[in-house]
């Protein structure tokens, strides 16, 4: 063989080796790309399908290379019989069909996505209760009733009003407006008089006043309310027997958890806000306010503050009654 022929043959062999090396590199890159793509697909399938259980359809997750055996077969038929490539393909095929390492999804991850979400939601409900606030307004109806209702309407919320029977006449439109807007109109006695309601020590006049007012409210709204608020609160004037008489008359009674003391700050609505901020901390709050100018002035700020604190606003509903009285008397 001439020197020239030998050189040419060596060059051809070198070119062939370079071509094989290039093909080998491409195979490696292709295998890696397929592995990554298939891993992503597998994760998606796991999250979408869920694991096998009696109430779900069994879905076998794909292997990381998708249809791995078919893909490898196509590659192998296109690259010749280079022993290095054949060895690589054999190794790759073995790993694709293996459940070792991360090549196949861990069966422990095959859970129904819906069940996981539900479990998380239940867990949140157990650890973080919904915060609810009931805004209540005493001593109406008044010239401020409609303004309070309008502020509530603007914020898409409702409140509970405890109105005085002796003030209903002439203010029927205010009462009806509050009721028709979705607020609850409750009872606050006819007279709001300590002497008439408590001094005798008997519940008779107390129940008589609330029964009379109940009838008047029904004439205006068509609804006979059973929720009352005792003027000045139920303590210390209302004892155990007194409470029993109220319950026997089929009334429910609410005190409050937060006293805004708005009646005490006619020229300082900012102090009402300070009282709210100081006292509000429970998951359920019932806030005592009154139909006063200073209360109307600060009410939008109170609503905004409570909203930012994560509170939802609720209105009293008879079918969802719960006890809020200082004596913690479940009868009321």
Residues labelled as active-site residues? 138, 290
- The C-alpha angle 192, 157, 150, rounded to 5 degrees, equals 70
Integer Cα distance of 210 and 217 in angstroms: 10
Peptide bond into 227 cis (omega under 30): no
Integer Cα distance of 288 and 307 in angstroms: 17
């Amino acid at each position: 063989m001439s020197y020239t022929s030998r050189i040419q043959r060596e060059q051809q062999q070198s070119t062939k080796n370079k071509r094989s090396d290039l093909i080998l590199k491409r195979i490696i890159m292709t295998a890696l790309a397929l592995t990554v793509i298939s891993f992503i697909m597998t994760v998606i399938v796991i999250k979408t399908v869920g694991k096998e259980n009696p109430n779900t359809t069994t879905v076998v997750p794909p292997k990381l290379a998708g249809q791995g055996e078919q893909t490898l077969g196509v590659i192998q038929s296109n690259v010749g019989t280079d022993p290095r490539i054949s060895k690589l393909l054999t190794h790759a095929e073995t790993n694709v069909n293996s459940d070792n390492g991360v090549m196949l999804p861990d069966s422990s991850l095959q859970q129904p996505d819906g069940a996981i979400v539900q479990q998380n939601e239940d867990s949140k409900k157990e650890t973080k209760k919904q915060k609810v606030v009931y805004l209540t307004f005493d001593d109406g109806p008044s010239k401020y009733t409609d303004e309070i209702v309008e502020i509530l309407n603007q914020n898409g919320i409702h409140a509970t009003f405890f109105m005085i029977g002796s003030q209903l006449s002439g203010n029927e439109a205010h009462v009806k407006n509050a009721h028709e807007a979705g607020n609850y109109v409750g009872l606050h006695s006819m007279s709001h008089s300590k002497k008439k309601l408590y001094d005798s020590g008997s519940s008779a006049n107390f129940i008589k006043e609330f029964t009379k007012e109940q009838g008047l409210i029904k004439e205006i709204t068509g609804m006979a309310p059973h929720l009352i608020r005792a003027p000045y609160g139920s303590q210390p004037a209302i004892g155990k027997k007194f409470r029993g008489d109220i319950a026997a008359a089929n009334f429910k009674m609410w005190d409050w958890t937060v006293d805004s003391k708005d009646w005490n700050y006619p020229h300082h609505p900012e102090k009402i806000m300070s009282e709210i901020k100081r006292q509000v901390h429970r998951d359920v709050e019932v806030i005592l306010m009154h139909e006063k100018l200073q209360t109307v002035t600060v009410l939008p700020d109170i609503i905004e503050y409570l909203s930012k604190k994560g509170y939802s606003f609720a209105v009293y509903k008879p079918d969802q009654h719960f006890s809020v009285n200082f004596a913690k008397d479940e009868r009321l």
